[in-house]
Amino acid sequence: MIRPILKYGDDHLHEPAGEVSEVTPDIQQLADDMVETMYAAPGIGLAATQIGVPLRIFVVDLSLGRDIEGLIVMINPVFVERTGMQLEDEGCLSVPGFNATVARPARAVVKGLDRGGVERTIEGTGLLARAFQHEMDHLDGKVFLDRLQGIKKQMIVRRIKKLMRSHQW
Ligand code: NI
């Protein structure tokens, strides 16, 4: 089932998510809904926080569903390692229409449970490392705008508030 994606301004996006205590059929259904919602958007990643569920689950697929091996479901993910630095443009399904350059580590290793409850460790570099960190931020109640400083953030927030006032957000 496709779930509505919360947009910037919704308080739920700023609440840290809690651990999943057990990978039950309900959790698997939630993960499936997240995958469906991500593909429908379309986007390369989605955190449970973004559909208003405060649980530590994210899904990522850089292939947008084109490669069957591309889908990553991570439950209770933690960083094992983060190294280097990259500066690239970043966007978010919860902040549609806006992009900004965000500094992120160039490599990130994440460990968590997959959809079957099996522990997985996945190394990401480049865009995958960026996606991991973007989704982990969501689980901690942060969106990429919170990583921006000063005028750049103010400009985007001001434009979003204007859209809100004219009910276009
Ligand atoms: Ni996002």
pLDDT score, position 133: 98
CATH assignment of 11-165, given 3.40.920.10, 3.40.50.1860, 3.10.520.10, 3.90.45.10? 3.90.45.10
The DSSP code sequence of 39-75 is HHTT-SEEEGGGGT--BSEEEE-TTTTSSTT--EEEE
**Taking residues 141-151, what's their average pLDDT?**
94
Let me know how many helices (H) and strands (E) the chain has, helices first: 3, 7
What is the 10 CA–ligand 1 centroid distance (Å)?
A: 13
What is the 122 CA–ligand 1 centroid distance (Å)?
A: 19
Which of 15, 22, 36, 135 is flagged as catalytic? 135
**Taking residues 122-135, what's their average pLDDT?**
98
Evaluate if residue 135 carries a pLDDT over 90.
yes
Cβ-contact 76, 112 below 8 angstroms = yes
Confidence at 139, pLDDT banded by 50, 70, 90 = very high
**Taking residues 132-161, what's their average pLDDT?**
96
Tens of pLDDT along 47-59? 999 999 999 999 9
Which residues neighbour ligand 1 (ion) by CB within 5 Å?
92
pLDDT score, position 11: 97
Evaluate if residue 164 carries a pLDDT over 90.
yes
Evaluate if residue 146 carries a pLDDT over 90.
yes
- Compute the mean pLDDT over every residue in the chain, rounded to the nearest whole number: 97
Confidence at 149, pLDDT banded by 50, 70, 90 = confident
Evaluate if residue 68 carries a pLDDT over 90.
no
> Could you tell me the two tokens for 59?
């899904």
What is the 46 CA–ligand 1 centroid distance (Å)?
A: 6
pLDDT score, position 150: 87
Neighbours of 6 (CB within 10 A): 16
Confidence at 4, pLDDT banded by 50, 70, 90 = very high
pLDDT score, position 107: 98
Tens of pLDDT along 80-112? 999 999 999 999 999 999 999 999 999 999 999
Question: Phi/psi of residue 134, each to 5°?
Answer: -65, -45
- Give yes or no: 88 in active site: no
